[in-house]
Amino acid sequence: MTGFALGADQEAWCGRLRALAGQRLRPLAQKGEPGRVNRPLLAALAEEGLLDRLFTSGALELCLLRESLAYGCTEAETALALQGLGAYPVLRAGSTRQRERWLPPVRAGRAVAAFALSEPGAGSDAAALALRAEPAAGGWRLSGEKCWISNAPEADFYTVFARTGEEPGAKGVTAFLVPADRPGLSGEPLDMLSPHPIGSLLFDGVEVGPQDLLGEPGRGFRVAMDTLNLFRPSVGAFAVGMARAALDATLAHTAGRSAFGGVLGDLQSVAHRVAEMATRTEAARLLVYAAAEAYDAGSPEVPRRVAMAKLLATETAQYVVDHAVQLHGACALRRGHLLEHLYREVRAPRIYEGASEVQLTIIAKELYRGVREVAER
């Protein structure tokens, strides 16, 4: 990559991924049952080597992967991303035994992972976790509830964040790997606007020990943020992929739809709106790539850059898809239409992994931190 232009090999790879998403993965996604894990789709992602790339890619490659899959099949993109989100803490903070037990089946599409952070009273304020990890017989007992957990209750294991209480706030949170069959753990699906399962989890004295720790006691919030800092710019890439799909559909529609003695694209109001959609999409794409490059380079500006990338990309995708629907008219709202699908899919990324308002708070905090550091020199 030179500047923010992709190299020829990267462009070719993205093109192959878009074709794969549309030709092989989308038919599998369409056969899946809404609100259930699509295991044949996961198996196909594994056969194509894409699940394995979750654990060998840098942030930029992960963004290109998610953007390209989102363009052709949002369900495939989400299935892949959720495997990464749930299993990446195992890769980064897990023991050798944990990695050897769980990562090979995740890579093979046989084990379903989930990232269990949110709770009924701790969504955007992730440091306000209430799930308790109480000391017991050389380990802990987990008691409480998790909510809005993607892949729950069908996952095979969960990365769970609980309060062990070494210190208040984020410093008292510990991460655990909890297999789904652990006694005392149950869950139920939630009826959400989502093609993949989202559910709640109930922990009724679930026993965990030192062998279940991901990292050190009291350092779980760092494990969560390490994961989110990698995946937030790629959430932006997911959004960019949807925006590009909506933009291309709009270009084709407005260039061919007869209206008022010409085609829709001849109308200045329409052409200008499409130009605005394209400009915003390109700006979001470049900001996502810049954030990914900063992450790969180990830049101290990563928190600010990834927050900016997720914020702009998800808000831009909402804008582009909404205007694409407007320019298509009623046909875009028919069940099965690409834009009807994107219109449902595009809303959630503005909330999960830190809502837009959370990203604004992070950006402002990092900006003022820079001002203070300059003043103290």
Q: Are residues 62 and 128 in the same domain?
A: no
For the segment 88-97, the average pLDDT, to the nearest whole number, is: 96
Which CATH number belongs to the domain containing residue 326 in this structure? 1.20.140.10
pLDDT value at residue 3:
57
Q: Are residues 202 and 236 in the same domain?
A: no
**Would 1 be classed as within a structural domain?**
no
Chain segment 248-286, per-residue pLDDT in tens: 999 999 999 988 888 999 999 999 999 999 999 999 999
pLDDT value at residue 329:
95
For 191, residues 6+ apart whose C-beta sits below 8 A from its C-beta are 35
Q: Cα(300)–Cα(43) distance, rounded to whole angstroms?
A: 37
Looking at the structure of the chain, the number of domains it has is 3
Cα dihedral sign, 153-155-133-117: negative
Chain segment 150-186, per-residue pLDDT in tens: 999 999 999 999 999 767 667 889 999 999 999 999 9
**Would 145 be classed as within a structural domain?**
yes
Q: Are residues 270 and 331 in the same domain?
A: yes
**Would 142 be classed as within a structural domain?**
yes
Strands (E), the chain: 113-116, 132-136, 139-150, 157-163, 173-179, 185-189, 198-208, 258-259, 262-263
3 φ/ψ sector (left φ>0, alpha ψ -120 to 50, else beta)? left
Q: Are residues 205 and 333 in the same domain?
A: no
CB 48 within 8 A of CB 107: no
Q: Is the pLDDT of residue 122 over 60?
A: yes
**Would 97 be classed as within a structural domain?**
yes
Chain segment 130-146, per-residue pLDDT in tens: 899 999 988 999 999 99
pLDDT value at residue 259:
86
Chain segment 49-68, per-residue pLDDT in tens: 999 999 999 999 999 999 99
* Displacement of CA 59 from its chain's centroid (Å): 13
Question: What confidence category does residue 2 fall into, taking pLDDT thresholds of 50, 70 and 90?
Answer: very low
Q: Cα(31)–Cα(49) distance, rounded to whole angstroms?
A: 21
**Would 2 be classed as within a structural domain?**
no
Q: Are residues 99 and 146 in the same domain?
A: no
For the segment 226-233, the average pLDDT, to the nearest whole number, is: 88
Last residue of a domain, one of 50, 83, 107: 107
Last residue of a domain, one of 200, 217, 234: 217
For 292, residues 6+ apart whose C-beta sits below 8 A from its C-beta are 58, 59, 60, 62, 63, 233, 234, 237, 309
Catalytic residue, candidates 119, 166, 353, 357: 353
pLDDT value at residue 299:
94
Phi, psi of 131 (to 5 degrees): -60, 120
Q: Are residues 211 and 226 in the same domain?
A: no
Count CA within 13 A, CB hemisphere, residue 301. 11
Q: Cα(224)–Cα(171) distance, rounded to whole angstroms?
A: 12
Q: Which two tokens stand for residue 238?
A: 């997911």
Which CATH number belongs to the domain containing residue 200 in this structure? 2.40.110.10
Q: Cα(122)–Cα(142) distance, rounded to whole angstroms?
A: 16
Structural domain including 70 reads: 8-107
Active-site annotation holds for 373: no
For 3, residues 6+ apart whose C-beta sits below 8 A from its C-beta are none
Q: Are residues 260 and 351 in the same domain?
A: yes
